[in-house]
A and B are shown apart, each in its own frame.
Chain A
Amino acid sequence: MEISRPETPEPQILLAEEISTVRSVLGSGYTDIDIIRALNASGNNPNRAINALLDSPKPAVCTQPVRSNAAMSSFGSSKEDLDFNLDKLISDAKIKVQEEKSDLGSQQNHDLPNVKRETSMSSGKVDSARPLPDETFEEYMERRNNADKKEGKAREDSNDSLQNLTTSNPLPYLNPRPIRAIKPPDCVVSDRRLQVLPNLNEPELGNFPEEHDWFLVGKTCVAGLSTCRGNKLLDAGEVVHFAFPSSDRDFGGVRVRPKTAAAMSAIVRFSTKRSGEIGKLPPEWTRCLVPLVNSSKVKVRGSCVYSTVNLSLMQEVLLYMSFYIHSSIFTECNKDASNLTPSLVDSTVNPLATLFNMLKIKPTKGAEFTPEDLNSRKRSIHLRDDMYDLEQPSQRAGSSKKQKAGEGESYTDLDKDEQAISEASLNKLVGTADHYNLAEAQPPSTLLCELKPYQKQALYWMSGLEQGVTVEKTSKTLHPCWSAYKFIDQRAPTVYVNVFSGETTTQFPSATQKTRGGILADAMGLGKTVMTIALVLSNPRGENLEFCDSDSDDSGTYIKGGTLIVCPMALLGQWKDEIEAHAKPGSLSVFIHYGGDRTTDPRILTHHHVVLTTYGVLTSAYKPGSEQNSIFHKVNWYRVVLDEAHTIKSSKTKVAQAAFALSSHCRWCLTGTPLQNNLEDLYSLLCFLHVKPWCNWDWWTKLIQRPYENGDERGLNLVRAILRPLMLRRTKETRDKEGRPILVLPPVNMRVVECEPSEAERDFYQALFRRSQVKFDQFVAQGKVLHNYASILELLLRLRQCCNHPFLVMSRTSTQESTDLDKLARRFLNSSQTNSSNGPTPAYVEEVVENLRQGVVTECPICLESTSDDPVLTPCAHRLCRECLLASWQGLSGGPCPICRHVLNKSDLITCPIESRFQVDVENQWKESCKVAKLIRCLEEVLRKGEKSIVFSQWTGFMDLLEIPLKRKNIGFLRFDGKLLQKQRERVLKEFSESKDKLVLLMSLKAGGVGLNLTAASNVFLMDPWWNPAVEEQAIMRIHRIGQKQQVQVRRFIVKDTVEERMQQVQAKKQRMISGALTDDEVRTTRMEELKMLFR
């Protein structure tokens, strides 16, 4: 009986807070008993108790056991210490209770029968600390409260009962003061008289119990604002009740605008039982608490800190609040982040994390990035608004379905015009680490080639990722989006909060969970293919692992497959060749799924280790909606590798959708350019890799895309952190642990060849320079330098060309050009004869042709520029930039002439002969310039050794000139410039690398497109300095790359004492400007300085 009975702790514990308050005022001179007595007499109001104690003489006898005193005296006087002391006290009390129980048990036993009688019959306050046998606990507590209150009225009786209180009922600590924040049920008190007695003016006091399901998160003081005025509304320690706005969206049937609804829900009021509403919580707490409390995962208890005698409006009311979190929050959280509704996605400021933050609970381990980082702008949570957003995804899904059905492919090139992301900013973005501390994996024995150390590292990294747990370390690393929290309540486990989704879990979220695979983004030429082959060989079908989990619920419908490699059509052969070359014969069976005669039986695919196919085949096989149709989608692959994975950069395209829909255990993206045009490219890769939650478009836009577009660096930081575990990117500059480059190429020998101009050349140059200087000075004097930037560049251009060869500057018109023009004129005249009504008059055509012949500059009527790269003539004899004209047309094949509205066909356009070349008859009057002479000497020297050379110049005109001495000296050469068609280019490059007698390649850099591999040559001659040193660098890189076995000799030709020398200085000085680090204004001033420097 004794055991089953509800138990009550000692009054010291019950009233600990009040006692300490009293002590803080009066000092430790009073015993607990005195204070408790006083408190009881004053309705547990410490202020009144203090007054009562001061009025009465100080008692001499200490009836309290010493043990208890020691515990009590450890109370600090400051509010901050209180929680700690309370906890300590509770633990002390527990021990004490155990001891005292045995002493006092017998006394309690025979007391009990009287209790009920006493309570029901007499004053009802005899030993109210004891519960009645048939009473529920709550009823009991309620009764006790009322009894306590009555005690103030019936002081004469209190001594007896107090004695009982202090000496008996030392019950174990459990729910010492369950005064709940809810209104107590009515009519629990059976005694009629008692119902009259409860004094509504008495404050409701108390602390709050520890409850089984509710873990105490923390306590803090919150300053509320009063919303009413009056006398004596609050006592210190008085319990306040909070009224939270309901989460119901329905406002009395009236559909309220989200904003209004949010405003209406934005107030949390608090009240006391006796005074009604007191005030409201400050907005920051409201914002954070409303969604939490409405989720019924969190509850709040509060009491008033100071008593207020006179409350005025908008006065600060300090509340001491405790926050509890329900244990269910730790169990109901197995849902996946990506399943989260957009409404949660939108609440970037996540309430729970905010609560932790406001409680100043520091995460024991913080997330590496937080939404606050991303979103410093002020924003509030409008959960209601978000509910309207819920409708959007379905619409989006609908529309994307439409796209899939119809014009899926047309989205591919939408972004083409957008500014491409440069290599430099790509590196900045994805961060090439200086070195990776990765172990090296032993390549499989079936791999025939020797792997370089960095390739072994990649193999280690890739196999690690395929096993799901990368390295032991990363599995112990907290996922960067999660924070770990520990509560005050020791019972609660460590809680991990996803700072973005608000997801909570008690399970440790490690850095890499779901994604098996990643992005191998090594720069071109580091051997991604070989690394992948090594990976495939080391584990061809995942037989070492049990891979039956995750991706497919009904794996019965799937057939297990090996590795699927999807690549662009052009690389299909290369993959096959490389696999054959590097894999030991018989170790891998390769099946190429391509061409007209394709099997439809997926089992054939699964019989092979590796299936090669192209994006085109994958896409055409994919039927959106019914993906089971596709042969690829019927197989549950062990591994899918996308080569040149940027092919799927547009996530809406059918090719990307087809890739996303593949079912696979591991997924890999190989690409040298994970970002081609914009950040969105990356999103598509993450989608393919199933990186949660970033493969959710809402998450992506919210936290990455939009911040990035708004120029918020934190979007990028997030991307970087997401990619860190997922992406391996090394470049040729990457160094290993010892600081050596991972890829050692033969060194480059750079040399500047200074050319001494002849007397005649110097005179010519000086004349030209003086003339240019005069013009420049004029511009300076007029303050119009920057307005005439183009003219000045033109002056400089002439000077620079003069350095190469004076012929380049000497005026124009060659026999070749004039025949071109004559042909042109004839064509016009012919066409105007046949179609005289529409065509231009012969006179006009003649004028146009004559102007062209004389090099008269006309401006394009659309861009108003006179220096067009690619002018065209229309059949109606109007001259425009080709680009402008084509842009003005709606259709691709033709449109009206912008000037005369004559309908044109694209094929009718006549390419204008651009600047005619040389006025002098260069062949017959040939004279070498100092630069040409030096070059020929160098070339002859190199040719003797049988080495191949590339000569770079910016001007095809100079290349024309160079042809003359080369021919005369019988030096075999090839030429590569913009006039060549793609086919011809390939032929020239092939011929150059294979030829034994044509050892020189004249090359214009502008024409040398992407991916040229010129490692056959080992000598580079840069004939003229570029403005941009990066361009020179690029030129050298075509020769100095993987596969280069010889030492590369680079020679840059500079003519002494000319503008070229000064350009070198400018180059060195203005590197920063070129890299775009300067602002517009700075650029302007530097340009000015730079120009002045050149004309000095």
Chain B
Amino acid sequence: MANSNLPRRIIKETQRLLSEPAPGISASPSEENMRYFNVMILGPTQSPYEGGVFKLELFLPEEYPMAPPKVRFLTKIYHPNIDKLGRICLDILKDKWSPALQIRTVLLSIQALLSAPNPDDPLSDNVAKHWKANETEAVETAKEWTRLYATGA
């Protein structure tokens, strides 16, 4: 139902995501709804999330690509720009969205966000405070959470 009339752009993007996946990222569409993607992002090396496998969900709204995809972490993660519901604070997912961006670029940006947390623009106040007050300790918590929630899944 939702799959009929899938814009060619989405089909093309999906084909390319499957045929040439970006390193450390996998995204595959759900069988029932080609606009819904199951995403896995490997924690970037030299980040507190290294070794973790993070599950996300990504949904392309009707207006896509004129509106940004909706992305959310499913795996619990300790990150100043990601809240406990998995919502991500990333400008390109909001006001800085451009139709020239794609699923791939969005996921790469999220991967980059894991490498470079930005506590000055927090979504999760507590985590951000923690991060600013005692970064080492916060990083340790992030590692701990990664070990707890993002491995062996």
Binding site for B on A (CB under 8 A): 861-865, 884, 887-888, 896, 898-899, 901
Q: Which of B9, B65, B98 contacts A896 (CB 8 A)?
A: B98
Q: B98–A899 contact, CB under 8 A?
A: yes
Q: B8–A862 contact, CB under 8 A?
A: no
Q: B8–A898 contact, CB under 8 A?
A: no
Alpha-carbon separation in the docked complex, A57 to B92 (Å): 105
Residues from chain A with a CB closer than 8 A to the CB of B100 are 861-862, 898-899
- 14 A-B pairs (CB sep. < 8 Å): A861-B100, A862-B9, A862-B99, A863-B8, A863-B9, A864-B8, A864-B12, A865-B8, A884-B99, A887-B66, A898-B99, A898-B100, A899-B98, A901-B98
User: How far does the Cβ of B75 sit from chain A's closest Cβ, in whole Å?
Assistant: 30
Extra 4 A-B pairs, beta carbons < 8 Å, given A865-B8, A884-B99, A888-B66: A862-B99, A863-B9, A896-B98, A899-B98
Of all chain A residues, which has the CB nearest B13? A864
Name the residue among A863, A864, A899 with the largest chain B CB count within 10 angstroms: A864
Residues from chain A with a CB closer than 8 A to the CB of B13 are 864
Residues from chain A with a CB closer than 8 A to the CB of B9 are 862-864
Alpha-carbon separation in the docked complex, A864 to B98 (Å): 14
Of all chain B residues, which has the CB nearest A1080? B4
User: How far does the Cβ of B38 sit from chain A's closest Cβ, in whole Å?
Assistant: 22
Alpha-carbon separation in the docked complex, A548 to B91 (Å): 69
B interface secondary structure, majority: loop
Residues from chain B with a CB closer than 8 A to the CB of A899 are 98, 100
Contact with A along B99-126 (1 / 0, CB 8 A): 1100000000000000000000000000
Contact with A along B5-19 (1 / 0, CB 8 A): 000110011000000
Of all chain B residues, which has the CB nearest A896? B98
Residues from chain B with a CB closer than 8 A to the CB of A863 are 8-9
Q: B99–A888 contact, CB under 8 A?
A: yes
Q: A898–B98 contact, CB under 8 A?
A: yes
Q: A888–B98 contact, CB under 8 A?
A: yes
Alpha-carbon separation in the docked complex, A865 to B9 (Å): 8
User: How far does the Cβ of A786 sit from chain B's closest Cβ, in whole Å?
Assistant: 12
Closest 10 CB pairs of A and B: A898-B100, A861-B100, A898-B98, A888-B99, A864-B12, A862-B99, A899-B100, A864-B9, A898-B99, A863-B9
Residues from chain A with a CB closer than 8 A to the CB of B96 are 901
User: How far does the Cβ of B64 sit from chain A's closest Cβ, in whole Å?
Assistant: 11
Alpha-carbon separation in the docked complex, A896 to B66 (Å): 13
Residues from chain A with a CB closer than 8 A to the CB of B12 are 864
Residues from chain B with a CB closer than 8 A to the CB of A862 are 9, 65, 99-100
Residues from chain B with a CB closer than 8 A to the CB of A887 are 66, 99
Residues from chain A with a CB closer than 8 A to the CB of B99 are 861-862, 884, 887-888, 898
Alpha-carbon separation in the docked complex, A862 to B12 (Å): 11
Alpha-carbon separation in the docked complex, A862 to B96 (Å): 15
User: How far does the Cβ of A172 sit from chain B's closest Cβ, in whole Å?
Assistant: 71
Alpha-carbon separation in the docked complex, A864 to B104 (Å): 13
Of all chain A residues, which has the CB nearest B4? A1080
User: How far does the Cβ of B102 sit from chain A's closest Cβ, in whole Å?
Assistant: 8
Alpha-carbon separation in the docked complex, A887 to B99 (Å): 10
Alpha-carbon separation in the docked complex, A865 to B13 (Å): 11
Name the residue among B9, B66, B96, B99 with the largest chain A CB count within 10 angstroms: B99
Contact with A along B61-86 (1 / 0, CB 8 A): 00001100000000000000000000
Alpha-carbon separation in the docked complex, A861 to B104 (Å): 13
Of all chain B residues, which has the CB nearest A862? B99
User: How far does the Cβ of A941 sit from chain B's closest Cβ, in whole Å?
Assistant: 47
Alpha-carbon separation in the docked complex, A960 to B100 (Å): 36
User: How far does the Cβ of A1037 sit from chain B's closest Cβ, in whole Å?
Assistant: 32
User: How far does the Cβ of B140 sit from chain A's closest Cβ, in whole Å?
Assistant: 38
User: How far does the Cβ of B5 sit from chain A's closest Cβ, in whole Å?
Assistant: 11
Residues from chain A with a CB closer than 8 A to the CB of B65 are 862
User: How far does the Cβ of A1082 sit from chain B's closest Cβ, in whole Å?
Assistant: 16
User: How far does the Cβ of A806 sit from chain B's closest Cβ, in whole Å?
Assistant: 33
Alpha-carbon separation in the docked complex, A865 to B66 (Å): 16
Alpha-carbon separation in the docked complex, A865 to B12 (Å): 9
User: How far does the Cβ of A649 sit from chain B's closest Cβ, in whole Å?
Assistant: 25
Alpha-carbon separation in the docked complex, A862 to B65 (Å): 7
Alpha-carbon separation in the docked complex, A468 to B66 (Å): 54
Of all chain A residues, which has the CB nearest B11? A864
Name the residue among A861, A865, A887 with the largest chain B CB count within 10 angstroms: A861
User: How far does the Cβ of A454 sit from chain B's closest Cβ, in whole Å?
Assistant: 42
Residues from chain A with a CB closer than 8 A to the CB of B8 are 863-865
Alpha-carbon separation in the docked complex, A1033 to B26 (Å): 51
Of all chain A residues, which has the CB nearest B7? A863
Alpha-carbon separation in the docked complex, A251 to B116 (Å): 63
Residues from chain B with a CB closer than 8 A to the CB of A901 are 96, 98
Alpha-carbon separation in the docked complex, A899 to B100 (Å): 6
Alpha-carbon separation in the docked complex, A901 to B99 (Å): 11
Alpha-carbon separation in the docked complex, A865 to B11 (Å): 12
Alpha-carbon separation in the docked complex, A204 to B147 (Å): 84
User: How far does the Cβ of A1076 sit from chain B's closest Cβ, in whole Å?
Assistant: 15
User: How far does the Cβ of A43 sit from chain B's closest Cβ, in whole Å?
Assistant: 67
User: How far does the Cβ of A714 sit from chain B's closest Cβ, in whole Å?
Assistant: 23
User: How far does the Cβ of A524 sit from chain B's closest Cβ, in whole Å?
Assistant: 32
User: How far does the Cβ of B67 sit from chain A's closest Cβ, in whole Å?
Assistant: 10
Residues from chain B with a CB closer than 8 A to the CB of A884 are 99
Alpha-carbon separation in the docked complex, A888 to B66 (Å): 6
Of all chain A residues, which has the CB nearest B15? A787
Of all chain B residues, which has the CB nearest A859? B12
Alpha-carbon separation in the docked complex, A333 to B28 (Å): 64
Alpha-carbon separation in the docked complex, A861 to B105 (Å): 12
Of all chain B residues, which has the CB nearest A885? B99
Name the residue among B9, B65, B66, B100 with the largest chain A CB count within 10 angstroms: B100
User: How far does the Cβ of B106 sit from chain A's closest Cβ, in whole Å?
Assistant: 14
Of all chain B residues, which has the CB nearest A865? B8
Alpha-carbon separation in the docked complex, A625 to B66 (Å): 40
Alpha-carbon separation in the docked complex, A898 to B100 (Å): 5
Alpha-carbon separation in the docked complex, A888 to B9 (Å): 14
Residues from chain B with a CB closer than 8 A to the CB of A898 are 98-100
Q: Which residues of B10-61 are within 8 A (CB) of A?
A: 12-13
User: How far does the Cβ of A595 sit from chain B's closest Cβ, in whole Å?
Assistant: 44
User: How far does the Cβ of B7 sit from chain A's closest Cβ, in whole Å?
Assistant: 8
Of all chain A residues, which has the CB nearest B101? A898
User: How far does the Cβ of B72 sit from chain A's closest Cβ, in whole Å?
Assistant: 24
Alpha-carbon separation in the docked complex, A888 to B67 (Å): 9
Of all chain B residues, which has the CB nearest A888? B99
Alpha-carbon separation in the docked complex, A887 to B8 (Å): 16
User: How far does the Cβ of B95 sit from chain A's closest Cβ, in whole Å?
Assistant: 11
User: How far does the Cβ of A849 sit from chain B's closest Cβ, in whole Å?
Assistant: 21
Of all chain B residues, which has the CB nearest A880? B100
Alpha-carbon separation in the docked complex, A863 to B11 (Å): 11
Residues from chain B with a CB closer than 8 A to the CB of A861 are 99-100
Alpha-carbon separation in the docked complex, A865 to B65 (Å): 14
User: How far does the Cβ of B20 sit from chain A's closest Cβ, in whole Å?
Assistant: 14
Alpha-carbon separation in the docked complex, A1059 to B13 (Å): 34
User: How far does the Cβ of A848 sit from chain B's closest Cβ, in whole Å?
Assistant: 16
Residues from chain A with a CB closer than 8 A to the CB of B98 are 888, 896, 898-899, 901
User: How far does the Cβ of B103 sit from chain A's closest Cβ, in whole Å?
Assistant: 12
Alpha-carbon separation in the docked complex, A1005 to B8 (Å): 27
Residues from chain A with a CB closer than 8 A to the CB of B66 are 887-888
User: How far does the Cβ of B16 sit from chain A's closest Cβ, in whole Å?
Assistant: 9
Alpha-carbon separation in the docked complex, A274 to B98 (Å): 81
User: How far does the Cβ of B37 sit from chain A's closest Cβ, in whole Å?
Assistant: 17
User: How far does the Cβ of A443 sit from chain B's closest Cβ, in whole Å?
Assistant: 52
Alpha-carbon separation in the docked complex, A376 to B100 (Å): 47
Alpha-carbon separation in the docked complex, A864 to B17 (Å): 14
User: How far does the Cβ of A1025 sit from chain B's closest Cβ, in whole Å?
Assistant: 27
Of all chain A residues, which has the CB nearest B98? A898
User: How far does the Cβ of B92 sit from chain A's closest Cβ, in whole Å?
Assistant: 11
Alpha-carbon separation in the docked complex, A861 to B99 (Å): 8
User: How far does the Cβ of A662 sit from chain B's closest Cβ, in whole Å?
Assistant: 40
Alpha-carbon separation in the docked complex, A898 to B13 (Å): 17
Alpha-carbon separation in the docked complex, A864 to B11 (Å): 10
Of all chain A residues, which has the CB nearest B65? A862
Of all chain B residues, which has the CB nearest A863? B9
Alpha-carbon separation in the docked complex, A317 to B133 (Å): 82
